[in-house]
Structure 1
Amino acid sequence: MIIGIGNDLCNIERIQRSLDRFGERFEARVFTPYEIAKARGRRRVAETYAKRFAAKEACAKALGTGVPRAGVHWKHLGVVNLPSGKPGFELTGGAAARLARITPLGYRAMLHLTLTDDHPWAEASVIIEAVPLGAP
């Protein structure tokens, strides 16, 4: 069953302006060390950050909270890449607690994330699915 859906559109040029103006302060406030390393290792840094920023916003919407609100902060919504390269989440702190609260008893949550960009836009969609315990 679907327990949350979120979508967000982020302007890549806005992220570039934040990087130009605030640099490492912006990175450290919003992104996890993993996300920072991933972005700095790419040729198109602002695009990478914009997709992850959109993912964080979309996930917060799917959780029903927004950011920063209800104990959910930017760095609690870590965007990671699975070994296959597929994007996913590593939720911590208030985001993990919120996910636990909205997941029905007898179920486990699965987060699905898709990212795309087409300059000057980056977009992310998130679906939170509750799967019965013991299901594959």
Structure 2
Amino acid sequence: MIVGVGVDLCRVDRIRRSVDRFGKDWLDEVFTDAEQARLGPGEQLVQRAAMGFALKEACSKTIGTGFAGGNRRHNFLVNIDGLGCSIRLTGAARRRAVNLCGTSALVQLRTHIRSTAWVSALAVLEVGSSRSWIGCTDLLSLLPD
């Protein structure tokens, strides 16, 4: 059963301008130090930052709160590499997902990202599905804290 769906569309040039203008301050607002270490250098950093930003936005929508109710971008931890991406919910975001789905249910967060001059991110929060999902780049089981 699908509990929540989130979609985000982000322009890579917008992220480039933010990184150029605000640098580390902007990166610190959006990403943890560990996430930043995996972004890479130069243009790779910009592309991966755009992907991570869009994915965090999409995932915040799946739990129905956005970045309210104690949720921050640092509660949505992304890992982007050449093979795809993964995301892990922590803190208030994780608690909200578990509350939506029930603590005894298998909760799956499925994500898919496409990237060009624009980055699009799709996140689906599901309970109790074991079927495969075409285009899925991450399948994550969430357990209660």
TM-score computed with the length of structure 1 as normaliser: 0.86
In the alignment, structure 1 residue 89 sits paired with structure 2 residue 74? no
> Which of 119, 125, 130 is residue 127 of structure 2 equivalent to?
130
**Structure 2: distance between partners of 1:19 and 1:99:** 30
Alignment of 1:1-136 (within 5 A): 1-41=1-41, 43-67=43-67, 69-80=68-79, 85-119=83-117, 121-131=118-128
Is the contact between residue 52 and residue 80 of structure 2 (CA under 8 Å) also seen in structure 1? no
**Structure 2: distance between partners of 1:95 and 1:64:** 10
RMSD of aligned Cα (Å):
2.0
Runs of 4+ in 1 over 6 A off after TM superposition: none
Q: Percent identity?
A: 33
1:104 to partner: Cα distance: 2.6
User: Counterpart of 2:74 in structure 1: which amino acid?
Assistant: K
**Structure 2: distance between partners of 1:107 and 1:59:** 19
Which range is displaced more, 106-115 or 46-55? Answer: 106-115
1:14 to partner: Cα distance: 0.8
1:64 to partner: Cα distance: 0.3
**Structure 1: distance between partners of 2:36 and 2:111:** 19
